[in-house]
Amino acid sequence: MQVILTKKADKEFTKILRSDKRNGLRIQNFMDEVLKTSDNPTLLINCKKLQNAVNTWRWRVGEYRIVGIVLNEILTIEIIKISTRQDVY
Query: For residue 43, what pLDDT is reported?
Result: 92
Question: What was the pLDDT predicted at 89?
Answer: 66
Spatial CA neighbour of 36 closest among 9, 4, 65, 2: 2
Number of domains present in the structure of the chain:
1
22 vs 55, residue with greater confidence? 22
In this prediction, residue 55 carries a pLDDT of 87
Supply the pLDDT for residue 25: 95
β-pairing, 76-84 vs 64-71, is antiparallel
CA angle centred on 12, ends 8 and 18, rounded to 5°: 145
Query: Which residue segment(s) compose the domain that 22 sits in?
Result: 2-88
Q: Write phi, then psi, for 39 (nearest 5 degrees).
A: -70, -40
pLDDT in tens, 31-83: 999 988 888 889 999 999 999 988 899 999 999 999 999 887 666 788 888 88
pTM confidence score:
0.87
pLDDT reported for residue 85: 80
The CATH number that applies at residue 39 is 3.30.2310.20
Q: Provide the terminal-to-terminal Cα distance of the chain, rounded to the nearest Å.
A: 25
Residue 9 contacts by C-beta under 8 Å, 6 or more apart in sequence? Answer: 79, 80, 81, 82
